[in-house]
Amino acid sequence: MKPVMLYALSTCPFCKMAKRFFENQNIPYNFVDVDLLPEEEKEKTVAEVQRISGRRAFPVIVIGEEVIVGYDELRIREALEK
């Protein structure tokens, strides 16, 4: 299975939906709630999210080499199947 990384905000409803999707599907994933990081680490992580996705939007889901911005269950399922 491809590695899954989720960059999220703790208060974002779409981020929560993404977490719930992975948990309900028993898909192992790593995540970071960017807004809960210490300030210096937060700045670095936001810069990384922007580099990966080209935007400052959440959630950002990385499945293998594919980057999905926002919660799009169809795209997530397709990326997991590739």
pLDDT of residue 73: 97
Instruction: Give the closest residue to 4 by CA, choosing from 47, 63, 51.
Output: 63
4-81 is classed in which CATH architecture?
Answer: 3-Layer(aba) Sandwich (3.40)
**The token pair that represents 20 in the structure block:** 């719930």
pLDDT of residue 3: 96
Give the pLDDT confidence of 18-76 residue by residue, as tens digits. 999 999 999 999 999 999 999 999 999 999 999 999 998 999 999 999 999 999 999 99
Q: What angle do the packed helices 73-81 and 13-24 form, to 10 degrees?
A: 40
